[in-house]
Amino acid sequence: MPNNADVPSLDSLRVFLSVVDARGFRSASKQLGLSPSTVSEKIADLEQQLGVPLLTRTTRSVVPTEAGRALATRMAPLLAEARAALQDAANSQAEVRGLLRLNVTGAVMVDILPPLLDRFLILHPQVRVEIVVEDRLVDIVAAGCDAGIRYGEHLAKDMIAVPIGPKQQALAYAAAPSYLARRPAPQAPRDLMAHDAIRLRFSSGALVAWEFERDQESITIDPPGRLIIGVDAAPAAIAAACAGHGVVGTFGNWLAPHLEDGSLLPVLPQWWPVFEGPRLYFSSRFVPAPLRAFIDLIAADRRKDGT
């Protein structure tokens, strides 16, 4: 290091780890709530302080250099531990306080996470909560988050995963009575290839698969989308189905209110696949007090439900 007295700040290192995790300055700036120029300046200052390039920048991507990868690997757990230690110090009083930062898939923001958050905020008025919503699986430590919520992804070995919300959910399909009145109701999944499909697309660009199961048979189809909407705007896709524009496939709990009031009718319900509900995952090494309190709330719910 050119000047040993000029030690990089924890804030600069946190920005660096966010850029590495997000693979870009613009994405990292959104996570951090900073401008892209500020993020770029902090990285440039850090590289100048250390006297070595940490990131390789191209017009399409930002990737760490060998020195950058080594720094990220060693600093991510250290910064997480420092943040946990600071929060635990703040929580040395009787009341839990500090920041709980969760990285979650948008699928849990409709009717699974909000009621939990409501009770958690009431129980712990000194805790601040930040929710980062994205559908890709991230390194929560590098992203500066305490925990993540995802469905069924493979997690790192040092991660603990606990069920949160319903034990099981279903992928369901539905269409408006007006649509089914003018189109023959499908009798099998492949019949949907001839129907107007309302599809959802992940931010990665991949379409949400249309999967079906019955007994021991599993089928995945890829109908052309009459209407394609990003997963973050799933309510708009459901509204389009209610308006009679086609068949929509998504979480059964999202469609349930519309099936109950008759604005949608079930399509091939005998083929709806069931899968495990979401899980909260977090590092086994660092569990700050706000996260412990949130885990305790989840555990109390599961004991109440007998699961």
In a domain, 69, yes or no: no
pLDDT in tens, 68-107: 888 888 888 777 777 766 666 655 555 788 899 999 988 8
Let me know if residue 263 belongs to a domain.
Answer: yes
User: Please, are residues 18 and 101 in contact by the beta-carbon 8 Å criterion?
Assistant: no
Average pLDDT taken over every residue of the chain: 87
User: E strands within 95-254?
Assistant: 98-104, 127-133, 147-150, 159-163, 168-175, 197-201, 210-214, 217-221, 225-230, 247-251
Whether residues 93 and 225 share a domain: the answer is no
Could you give the number of structural domains in the chain?
A: 3
| Residue 290 lies inside a defined structural domain of this protein | yes
Give 188's DSSP letter. S
**CA 231 to mean position of chain CA atoms:** 11
Cut 0.75: pTM above it: no
| Structural domain that includes position 39 | 10-64
Q: Which of 114, 117, 115, 112 is nearest to 100 (CA)?
A: 117
Q: Residue 155 pLDDT > 80, yes or no?
A: no
Position 4 scores a pLDDT of 46
Which 3 state secondary structure label does DSSP give 158? coil
Judgement on whether residues 123 and 158 belong to the same structural domain of the protein: yes
Query: In this prediction, what percent of the chain has a pLDDT beyond 90?
Result: 46
